[in-house]
A = this chain, B = another copy of it.
């Protein structure tokens, strides 16, 4: 395994990521952790739902699960609290505060609890007058709210815009709030729902150059709950690739929203599909599941260190579709060691036989090295040595995926 020289890295970076991504020194590898997300919607009734309401108790439980199980060791460190953590009223100095019944220790304390465990805290907020769940929005208080978040030592800020409707407002709000975050002097990762919300509200496609200059991560798609939505996400990503291909990379990644691995939503093969795609396009891996009920097969997928390594690869490339063979699309992403690639095969055929797929390595532009050691990361199966002129053959389960390391040597 050859070491990667700094000059090689710089060459790659210069080639692909000029100066367009956000340079706030963070977001160099995709977020990895847990989020309230789909599994824990806006539930504030802790009397009747003590374990499922959005509360300090839930977050501490998840933190303990991450550290006691093998998750933290595998790299899972972010805990994101979505909407509904706030008190309905700001405090006497007009600052945001956490709901006092559900977060009795306060957000600064919770943040410090997580930091004490080497975990990081993310909080959702809204750039309009109200959050999606009807809690206080930050409109007209970007400076104050950025300061409050900074004072709590929040690590990740997820900014929605439920409360904004005009396209002009949306396009202005994200950079404005971003400046206020920077002004605090506290490094906070800035996750924007900007392109997703703009599009959702009829504003068409965002200016991705502006987006990437502003945000460490930018949401482009609906949350995935079914295999149909998985297919749609892949197709949309590929369809609009030309819009963001020049601006994504370390400092500004695409966010496909949460993983639903370990919930009721996806079959085991569909879970592999979601993980493979998220890993190869360097989307955050933030799983929304009940950590106390995680089944062992899903857990093994989430803890697969090769999948995580592909996602977090420090070259910072973002995967793209290179080929499609009937309903199987083939994606590649350059990874370390130098000249190596991750290759994902995603099958959007939803039933029937596994799809038999062959491709020549060179047709994927896999030609950075004379030969590759090939391993499938879910099964761990070693497939042998392949050269650029070789054909590679595999069978992909319906609605499933294969994810390979092609390691140059």
Contacts and interface: CB of A to CB of B under 8 A. Distances in A.
A264 B353 contact: no
A312 interface: no
Contact of A267 (B40, B43, B265, B397): B265
B41 A353 contact: yes
A48 B264 CA distance: 36
A264 B400 contact: yes
Interface in A261-278: 263-270
Contacts of A398: 263-265
Nearest to A52: B353
Given A226-B350, A353-B40, A353-B49, A264 B260 contact: no
Copy tally for this chain in the complex stands at: 2
Given A226-B226, A227-B226, A399-B265, A41 B270 contact: no
Pick the most buried of A38, A48, A265: most chain B CB atoms within 10 A of its CB.
A265
Interface in A254-296: 260, 263-270, 295
A245 interface: no
Contacts of A269: 264
Contacts of A265: 227, 267, 350-351, 398-399
A295 B267 contact: no
Contacts of A400: 264
Contacts of A49: 353
Interface in A158-204: none
By Cβ-Cβ distance, the 9 closest A-B pairs, closest first, are: A264-B269, A38-B351, A225-B351, A264-B398, A264-B399, A264-B397, A41-B352, A267-B267, A264-B400
Given A41-B353, A263-B351, 20 more contacts: A38-B351, A38-B352, A39-B353, A41-B352, A52-B353, A225-B351, A226-B226, A226-B228, A227-B265, A264-B351, A264-B398, A264-B399, A264-B400, A265-B267, A265-B398, A266-B267, A267-B267, A267-B268, A268-B295, A297-B297
Interface of A: 38-41, 43, 48-49, 52, 225-228, 260, 263-270, 295, 297, 350-353, 356, 397-400
30 contacts: A38-B351, A39-B351, A39-B352, A39-B353, A40-B352, A40-B353, A41-B352, A41-B353, A49-B353, A52-B353, A225-B351, A226-B226, A226-B227, A226-B350, A227-B265, A228-B228, A260-B351, A263-B351, A264-B267, A264-B268, A264-B269, A264-B351, A264-B399, A265-B267, A265-B350, A265-B351, A265-B399, A266-B267, A295-B297, A297-B297
